[in-house]
Structures are given as structure tokens and as C-alpha cells.
Amino acid sequence: MESSLFQIESLLWLLVAVAYIEAFRRLDRFVSRRKRPATDEEHLAWMAHHYRVSEHDLFFYAAQSWAHSESRVEADFKDYLVNGRLPHYVRDFIRKEKELGPRQ
């Protein structure tokens, strides 16, 4: 009798462990879907993915309203790739995009 009780108890612990793992897996998936990009760099990458363009294209799109030359935008993009610094016009573009809110 005692050995069958031990087997049932072990089976219950196994089921509890599986349910625990599954619950956290689903919770993690739910949170990751709702998570907004935290930094401007993450938001730039999210925008590039969302609009199906490259980050390079977004630099040029952002520079249009500031009337920067193509060579300056290229230099700023190279600096972004090497040092991770976003120029002011790209940050402004990202800020305005955030203000518009999520779009489908």
C-alpha cells in the first residue's frame, strides 16, 4: 500500500512541476507580446521590423524633415553602427513616432 501511495505522490509532484513550468512559459509569452521597446535604439529596431524597412532607411526618412545632406546621414549611420549613438534628428523622429501611439 505504501509503495502505491509513493507513486501517486510522485506523479502529483511531477504534474505540479509541469503545470508550474507551463504557467510561467505562458506568462512569459504574454508579457513579451505586450512589452514595449525600452530604449530609443530598441524602438528604432522595432520600427524597422514593423515597417519592413532597414534602420538605414529610417535614418534617411528621419533626416528629411531636418534637411540634412546624404553624406551627413551616412556618417551618422556609420557612427550609430560603431558607437551606438543616435543623432538628434533620429531621436526626434522616434519621439514623434511614440507620440502617435501604436498603429497597425
Stretch among 11-15, 26-30, 64-68 having the lowest mean pLDDT: 26-30
Its domain, for residue 29, covers: 1-35
Q: Please give the C-alpha separations between residue 98 and each of 31, 55, 61, in angstroms, as whole numbers.
A: 20, 16, 16
Q: Are residues 11 and 59 in the same domain?
A: no
Q: How many domains does the chain have?
A: 2
Give the pLDDT confidence of 44-56 residue by residue, as tens digits: 999 999 999 999 9
pLDDT of residue 2: 58
Q: Are residues 64 and 46 in the same domain?
A: yes
pLDDT of residue 69: 93
pLDDT of residue 4: 66
Provide, for the chain, the percentages of residues in helix, strand and coil under a 3-state DSSP scheme, each rounded to the nearest 5. Answer: 80, 0, 20
The reported pTM is 0.62
Q: Are residues 67 and 85 in the same domain?
A: yes
Q: Are residues 53 and 5 in the same domain?
A: no
Give the pLDDT confidence of 57-97 residue by residue, as tens digits: 999 999 999 989 999 999 999 999 999 999 999 999 999 98
